Structure 1
């Protein structure tokens, strides 16, 4: 029996013939960094994944876990690749315990699907509570327009990203300023180790370890420590009100002045982002305004109780005006969601418009955000490169998208020189 046919038969014995694909179209889609797998398998259970990993170990085959593929370009380039293990069939929400604000779901569950399911669940603010306050026909919890819970993160590609991919890549989002990182949300994981052994660590409570917190090792591991199968997260009740303050400034200096005022205040925004005007043009929709490409915008996401959000929005608008804002708009519920959905999918939209895009992520101390993005702007303009800039000012990170075609004369050299200077 031929070598490749032997592989296919061995894989089919575990997951079934219809869930092993080796046709050219599938192989092309699941190609990683120019490296094509011999087959793609779609297991539906932890047990099947365990058997696949054991088989790969025995036969010395190289496998690569794959969720939706939204972050497959991250991490090291594989040295070899025999088959891709796709987790999309592990798509069950196993336990939704909203009374205790936890949820356990499989790795192939899409982030958006989980949030939709959680939003429809009644939260514990509506449970009966005997107290002197109840005797006055009132409630301990405030009257809420929205029931339900949510997983407090908004990662890139949130419409397609799977939970396993989000955790394996330590993918965060703009709300990390208020809610923290994935490591702050994960209470437990269940994964298949390289030996094929199924290992579960953590639990449904915050204090669930007495020694090393092993489940944190899996966060950002890029699939190098095993195949993530299940995760348990802590949840929060949905906020009463959400909104976004979007202000446009004539220069980066003015935008930074506004950001400094916000950071020096006692406000607690969910996100503070600086974008150049062309970014907003690409994200513009019916309820999201577009601005001139040479401008800079500051987007501030607000979440919380009604009175707090209203007060923060009023104060931020005043800060923006004092800092020289040419225009300020407030995006309410629907427009707020549309804006941040477009923001989370911006890189994907940009890569489709510019196939030869080069993206660079820079991390820096939060206090140095202005120096970093000002230097980046100066270098890029000196080299006459087209670019898009997003500074996650409250998170100590900036993303620069170089739009110039690397195949153009000297373009790649200019990009490399700009990045080297920034890193120095």
Structure 2
């Protein structure tokens, strides 16, 4: 007996042994391959896949192992879950290594050091570098977003206004359902400056959203955003720090908000809805809003002349020290390192920089944690008199580029592929119908 006959050489051997090989319908095969049913039959006609007619001659079936092998050869099938059980996605946007990260294979910190945010966004979206790129908001979109944001309560946060601005911009774009690459990019290039334009001028919330200053339409996005964050005039060095921060934060692989954006895109939601999904998750205190606590801690350390009492207060209360540690980097967050290098050259940033280093050194006596990008954003916001939520605003505007890039990738995948099954832990059925709660007692209060 040969080796093949002893162990089985394929579906025919399995059937001979009495264990029928699994068969897939055309629809099931198409889903595994991530193609349309018509493409499955094209594979058959080219000899890349074999089929078998079902009894009665209606439709065809396909061997599951053969379909999986073809999927591996064509690279269309989603990778299997990792050993930890996490979802894994193919992406050509960002690669993260223990001490650095890359945008489409290029060191992201180097890219941000030499190119502005709009140029980096274009690189992430298209893989093409377009020097001098500027994003411009359409008049109708900007007007709708500004009216909506201005109508919100004065205590509304910048993220509240951004979420409202996205919805308003979507309503003014009748072509938002065009999911072609060209259509998505047109929406993105309009949406990002619309978000910035919908924010109130710094220090003047009573004037409502919008307002034109030196950073008006046609200026780099960093200049437009600066006037919404700081009441102080910007010089070249300060704008360089903000522009670099925007570029550095444009994407960071499958962070929580980006995963939410990809889930939305998998339903073929339009780009504005994708960004709305990302913004909803970004506001979590453990994600984009993490820079707020870092700002407040750093501001207090500057006021108290040192980090020791501030860090001690956090440790005494059992709170983690904000702005420190990152699960993906062993050492200092490379985004923080890049921003610290620029801030070191800004004289007015010296007090905040000293306080940040003091926070790291003081905490290191108890736990060896390194600075992350939230601490660097805090140095920026404290130095220039920005509000505590400024870092979150920078994060939201910047990461919109990454959400769009991931949406463009997801639009090419099989729709609705992210459908995990819940592990039910409730009472086992069948259960009896629940008893109705008694009606509330009449208190006898008069309605007159």
Q: What TM-score do the two structures reach when normalised by structure 2? A: 0.24
Give the number of the structure whose alpha-carbon radius of gyration is greater. 2
Larger helix fraction of residues:
2
**TM-score between the two structures when normalised by the length of structure 1:** 0.25
Q: Bigger relative contact order, structure 1 or 2, given CA contacts below 8 A and separation 6+?
A: 2
Q: Between Structure 1 and Structure 2, which shows a larger proportion of strand residues?
A: 1
